[in-house]
């Protein structure tokens, strides 16, 4: 493995030559550096690419037109490897208008192999290759030019070492028959709609939205959509327009006036002067929304007799299956999913709740047995020799 050797690309002729070589690769490791602290959209500052034992660092500030590279990213015969690639893919989609398919996300793959649900890249490199990557440039100003040698070496390492990580994880997924699991887990990452802004539903992201109901949620929906539009138009973070706490407070009001708004903590006079009348109109539109259009919070099941005991049994089964499959139990089934199942399991009537652990590979690995446990078809007990929980299958005993 070469030590941070790369070509720095910042002229059109260099880019053209580099893309000739990049296009020959069948697997490309991709990373980006960006800033998002003071803008709505990520400020694209650096692009790192590795393939066929070569590394290229491309400067999108000096080279705003990366069309030759985006053509390569559109090639379905080239696999694009990312680590925790959601924001990297978002940048590619915004800059080029294309989805860089197919994708292999090493963070997702690692989660399916027992490395933890959101393992960091440096941690993964250390565990798999025993190499400890430098951390000193994590908070660099990637927009500043010229870039320092240490910055470029740090950036190169992010893709140079991504290749052996990808190769190791792919081999293990293949050996365990889990490549199809990866496709399921990456479905959202690979869906173009993931990168489209749904203004009508951004209100669910407002911290505390689950404390509102009925008309208040309708008002919050109107306010949040307006804030999203303004943040995009001005390319500033949502909170810079108006904070979540203030949106919630306005949504709760039975009556709203400019004077009342100006007296709210966290709402400055300049905001009221510029946007106050518009906010009043947006608030009123939410108030006037017909009742049948009001957003509804997801229904919650109430605790029933024995729910907590059932929850403990379900959780034990999940941990047993996780240990058998060498995978983190939190990836198999979330606590909220198990709570839904535990509540439904009081009578086991009707269809089971719509929870992730009852679908796809999770159903195969653990979901089917969770339902069987609730229906009394299998049980958990302690092995007297080991003191560990084991599963007894009643249907197997009856068949024999």
The residue assigned the tokens 């009643």 is: 394
Q: In the chain, where are the structural domains located? A: 7-195, 202-293, 307-399
Mean pLDDT for the chain overall: 93
How much is the pLDDT for 302?
Answer: 61
Q: Which CATH class is domain 202-293?
A: mainly alpha
Mean pLDDT across the stretch 131-149?
A: 90
> Higher pLDDT residue, 132 or 304?
132
How much is the pLDDT for 303?
Answer: 66
DSSP lists the bridge partners of residue 33 as: 46
The residue assigned the tokens 């203030």 is: 246
- pLDDT exceeds 50 at position 1: no
How much is the pLDDT for 382?
Answer: 86
Give dist(CA 189, CA 183) in Å, integer: 10
Considering the chain, what percentage of its residues have pLDDT values greater than 90?
84
DSSP lists the bridge partners of residue 382 as: 389
How much is the pLDDT for 49?
Answer: 98
- The CATH homologous superfamily for domain 7-195 is Ribonuclease H-like superfamily/Ribonuclease H (3.30.420.10)
Q: 124, 110 in Cβ contact below 8 A?
A: yes
Element (H, E) at 38: none
Same fold, 7-195 and 202-293: no
User: Which tokens is 236 given?
Assistant: 């500033």
Closest of 366, 376, 362, 315 to residue 340, by C-alpha: 315
* Pure H helices in the chain: 12-22, 67-73, 86-96, 106-111, 121-129, 149-160, 162-176, 179-185, 215-234, 238-241, 244-252, 258-262, 269-287, 307-325, 329-332, 335-344, 360-362, 368-374, 394-399
- For the segment 20-72, what is each residue's pLDDT rounded down to a tens digit? 999 999 999 999 999 999 999 999 999 999 999 999 999 999 999 999 999 99
How much is the pLDDT for 121?
Answer: 96
- pLDDT exceeds 90 at position 383: no
Least confident piece of the model among 123-132, 208-217, 383-392: 383-392
Give dist(CA 366, CA 379) in Å, integer: 14
| pLDDT confidence tier of residue 4, bands split at 50, 70 and 90 | low
CATH 1.10.260.40 fits 307-399, yes or no: no
CA 160 → CA 46, 68, 153, 281, distances in Å? Answer: 15, 22, 10, 53
Closest of 167, 210, 182, 141 to residue 53, by C-alpha: 167
How much is the pLDDT for 400?
Answer: 43
């Amino acid at each position: 493995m070469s030590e941070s050797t790369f070509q720095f690309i910042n002229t059109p002729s260099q880019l053209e030559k580099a893309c000739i070589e990049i296009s020959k690769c069948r697997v490309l490791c991709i990373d980006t550096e960006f800033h998002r602290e003071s803008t709505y959209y990520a400020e694209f500052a650096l692009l790192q690419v590795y393939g066929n034992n070569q590394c290229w660092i491309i400067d999108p500030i000096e080279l705003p037109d990366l069309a030759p590279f985006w053509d390569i990213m559109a090639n379905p015969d080239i696999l694009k490897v990312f680590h925790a690639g959601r924001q990297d893919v978002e940048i590619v989609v915004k800059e080029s208008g294309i989805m860089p398919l197919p994708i292999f996300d090493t963070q997702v793959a690692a989660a399916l192999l027992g490395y933890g649900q959101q393992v960091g890249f440096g941690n993964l490199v250390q565990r798999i290759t025993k190499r400890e990557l430098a951390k000193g440039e994590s908070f660099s100003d990637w927009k500043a030019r010229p870039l320092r040698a240490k910055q470029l070496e740090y950036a190169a390492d992010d893709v140079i070492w991504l290749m052996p990580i990808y190769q190791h994880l792919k081999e293990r997924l293949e050996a365990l028959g889990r490549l199809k699991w990866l496709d399921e887990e990456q479905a959202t990452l690979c869906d173009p709609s993931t990168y489209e802004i749904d203004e009508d539903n951004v209100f669910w992201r407002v911290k505390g939205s689950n404390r509102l109901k009925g008309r208040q949620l309708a008002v919050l929906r109107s306010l949040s959509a307006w804030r999203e539009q303004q943040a995009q138009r001005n390319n500033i973070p949502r909170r810079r327009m108006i904070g979540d706490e203030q949106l919630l407070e306005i949504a709760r009001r039975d009556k709203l006036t400019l004077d009342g708004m100006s007296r709210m903590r966290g709402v400055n006079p300049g905001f009221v002067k510029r946007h106050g009348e518009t906010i009043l109109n947006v608030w009123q539109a939410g108030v006037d929304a017909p009742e049948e259009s009001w957003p509804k919070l997801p229904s919650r099941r109430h605790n029933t007799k024995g729910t907590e005991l059932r929850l403990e049994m379900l959780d034990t089964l999940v941990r047993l299956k996780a240990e058998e499959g060498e995978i983190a139990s939190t990836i198999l089934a979330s606590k909220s999913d198990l709570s839904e199942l535990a509540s439904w399991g009081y009578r086991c009537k009707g269809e089971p709740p719509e929870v992730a652990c009852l679908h796809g590979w999770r159903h195969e690995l653990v979901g089917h047995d969770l339902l069987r446990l609730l229906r009394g078809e299998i049980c958990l007990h302690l092995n007297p020799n080991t003191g560990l929980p084991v599963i007894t299958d009643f249907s197997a005993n009856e068949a024999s």
